[in-house]
Amino acid sequence: MKSTKYLIIFAFILFSAKVQSADIQVNKIQADEEHSINKIELKAEPIPIPNITNQVFNRKIQIIEPNNIIQKKAVKATLSSEITLFNKEYLSYEINTDDLSIKLNQNKVIISDQAKEALKLAPNWLKAQLQIKFQLLYEKGLDDDFAQLIIKADNKYKDEVAFVIAYSSINTLTNNRFRKDIDVIIKNAELIYNIADSLQYVKLVEHGSIANNDYYTTTTYRIYDPETKDTIWNEIPKDIYYFYVVHFKMDQEGVFVADDATATEQRTYGYFWRDYIWNNPDATQNYMPVNIKTTKGEVTSIPRFGEIMKKPRILWNRTMTYLPYGREFKDNDFALDVIGNWGSRALPINVTLPRSFQPNQILMKHDGMCNEDAFLIAAACRTALIPIIYLGTWAEDHVFGSIWDNDWYHFEFFRGGLEPNGNSAYGITNMMAGGSYGWENSMVNGFRPDGYNVNFSNYYAKTSTFNVAVTDSIGTPMPGAKLHIYARNGTSILYSGTIFTDSDGKASFDVGENKFYYIQAVHPVYKTAPIEDTKVYLLNQTITKANNTYNYNLPYPNVIIDNNQVEDLNDTDNDETYKYGLNIKLKSINILTDLIEKHDSQRSRFYYWNPESKGEITSFLVDEDNYNKFKSGENYKAYYYNEYKNENEFNIKLPYKAKWYLVLSNKKYDNFYQHLTSEVSILDDFVTVEVNNNKLISQDNFGNILLNQEEINKLGIIRFEIIDTRGKLILNDEISSNLINISNLAEGAYFINLISDKSVHSAKFMK
């Protein structure tokens, strides 16, 4: 029998000159008056992008020879690992065939002992995310400081403390002003528990146990249900609780406790906003006196927030409505009514310069616009343990909030109830569906406290959908590309939002109707497309219409991704009688990571875990000499080389007695980490046997796979896998009939694995 063979796969991707796109020459970014959101002014007519030449490009993919049965035999040794690989990182399993042992080699930073102790105390669902942050803090010599917060925190809120550390930007945690008061992470949790004891409309709910490390907290709310005409208690999901009640960052503001008297927009007066709003603790910075009088009326003072929020028994009555300015506070008001009334009285006139981004400073100034409104209402709601997300429709120059009750509901107060020239909307509490503005919004963005942007467009506008594929100039997908989306308003092109491509280089996002949209891609290695960062591509030739879908290919000009091709390992020494092999199980999850720099003063770097994503791991088997070459960056040869998506189990026959290294690498990605779970076993009596797979499969006139039912039954085959030549799992299902429909597969070569409890039968076929 011949030893393992490899295939050279010829791949080409056709990009047509029909791509409907254009460059728009634009001026450099200018600051918008109200929100400092990027504005780009149209300067010239659209310029067509160059046509892309059709090319054939060779990619070297090495695979195990098909047409054999791999007989599963006894396991001699097994080792497993769970680890997060940063970009370009790898781990390796060292397989020693002298003593049949397996050793794990990790090219990773080792965190401190205190950080390890803190990880043990954290809930299981948070450990992997927290470890990433400890690794980053270790590089700055700060992991012990933050680990100690978890260790010394009361057991009942260790989860809240651990979550804030895990999901705060490293720029926030290492900021000099924040570092003066890192105990605020514990105080934040203490305040949540203390405030909960004072509120009638909300209760903390504890789940699991610390002993089992499966514990988490959430909240439940008393709500008046119009359908039953009675009150009910409604519990929110835990991720809503941690992100939008517990976390102390809302959007573009800096997270500080220490004051800076020289700061014009970021004053805290030395207090954490949850403490300041609830307690009004400083007589010299007392926010209760307002003393503003205009021709429309007067506000002399507002109540202390912590006092007035003790009265409501009900969160809200699920009625989307407007509540007028200047209404009385009543004992039977629901909580959202009270917050809107209190906030609108706190900011009864339009903003005076300088602007404020800190809730404490906003509350002391007693004036604002939607920016100040949104920050104050977000801080007030989270202080009162009400989940709220900060939202912005940047191109339309408005920001506001949305609270959670089985879904997101618009909630904002509008400042300026005493503004002499204000219209009838000034001062209202707006709880109408979508804000009821009737605007044709471009995009609505939700700010998750770690910096990740959530597309909320379908919440606030009639929407259409863009499907964008980003590639290099010959069609290779570009995962993790940052897409800045712009919309045209008159002659201006205005920043609307940021979206990222997935592991296949694709992005799908909703936008509003009746707009022209533009796009600029930013990649950490290949920079911008268009090349000049003052240009953008036109996405749609006609204005968007609701419920329509628009497809767009964005090729990076003059970029061809380096595939780091690897030579075959010379297998002339292959011992056909050598009896050992490997069984490998892999599962990886993508973690998208990048900066949101458009409107966050702290340039938060987020780490977005998507359990439904398909991670990708490059795996290869090398001997000791080639492993050392690989580590030193030299050219090396591999016996086996492939790329596996998401979750795979495969086998490799060891060629001969030697020390072997199975390398599992995150070499492909620049903006994705890979959370990798892997297991490697040495198999005894690993024998490959030639078979005639024509006995098992054939193809009909349409190319579908036909199974020989008699042989399938005889071998006990119960399920099948179809894998492409890159190792990507295409189909995976149980066998329910003698026909496997492959009409949806693209033309090309594939491999089918027919699997029983005892063997895997592998065959190649063409579509």
Alpha-carbon gap, residue 630 to 639, rounded angstroms: 13
Judged against a pLDDT cut of 60, whether residue 654 lies above it is answered with yes
Alpha-carbon gap, residue 565 to 633, rounded angstroms: 13
Alpha-carbon gap, residue 209 to 505, rounded angstroms: 41
Alpha-helix runs per DSSP H in 88-231: 113-121, 124-138, 143-152, 158-166, 170-173, 176-179, 184-196
Does any domain span residue 482?
yes
Asked whether 754 and 712 are in contact (CB, 8 A), the reply is yes
User: Is the domain of 293 the same as that of 439?
Assistant: yes
Task: Find the range with the poorest average confidence among 424-433, 602-611, 675-684.
Answer: 602-611
Q: Model confidence over 84-121: pLDDT tens digits?
A: 999 889 999 999 988 999 999 876 667 999 999 999 99
Task: Find the range with the poorest average confidence among 122-131, 180-189, 536-545, 758-767.
Answer: 758-767
User: Is the domain of 277 the same as that of 316?
Assistant: yes
Q: What is the pLDDT of residue 21?
A: 34
Q: What is the pLDDT of residue 66?
A: 36
Core vs surface per residue 498-531: b (16+ CB within 10 A) or e: bbbbbbbbbbebbbbbebbbbbbbbbeebebbbe
User: Is the domain of 40 the same as that of 91?
Assistant: no
Strand ranges across the sheet with 463-471: 506-512, 463-471, 549-555
- How many helices (H) and strands (E) are present in the chain, helices listed first? 16, 49
User: Is the domain of 477 the same as that of 405?
Assistant: no
Strand ranges across the sheet with 697-699: 697-699, 705-707, 739-740
Q: Band of the pLDDT at 52, cuts 50, 70, 90?
A: very low
Provide the domain limits for residue 477.
Answer: 9-51+462-555
Q: Which amino acid is at 498?
A: T
Q: Which of 640, 660, 688 is the last residue of a domain?
A: 688
Number of domains forming the structure of the chain: 4
pTM for the model stands at: 0.82
Residue 643 corresponds to which tokens in the numbers above?
């790329």
Core vs surface per residue 424-438: b (16+ CB within 10 A) or e: eebbbbbbeebbebe
At residue 311, the 3 state secondary structure works out as coil
Does any domain span residue 113?
no
Q: Which of 624, 657, 688 is the last residue of a domain?
A: 688
Handedness of CA 663, 667, 668, 673 (dihedral sign): positive
CATH number of the structural domain spanning residue 582: 2.60.120.680
Alpha-carbon gap, residue 233 to 133, rounded angstroms: 35
User: Is the domain of 389 the same as that of 260?
Assistant: yes
> What angle do the packed helices 124-138 and 158-166 form, to 10 degrees?
50
User: Is the domain of 584 the same as that of 536?
Assistant: no
Residue 558 corresponds to which tokens in the numbers above?
């003059």
**Count of other CB atoms within 10 angstroms of residue 229:** 7
Does any domain span residue 16?
yes
User: Is the domain of 367 the same as that of 501?
Assistant: no
Does any domain span residue 40?
yes
Residue whose C-alpha is closest to residue 496's, from 509, 505, 485: 485
Q: What is the pLDDT of residue 714?
A: 83
What average pLDDT does this structure show over 603-632? Answer: 87
Does any domain span residue 617?
yes
β-pairing, 605-609 vs 581-595, is antiparallel
Strand ranges inside 26-141, DSSP E: 30-31, 38-41, 47-48, 57-61, 68-71, 75-85, 90-96, 101-106
Q: Which of 447, 474, 497 is the last residue of a domain?
A: 447
**Count of other CB atoms within 10 angstroms of residue 188:** 21
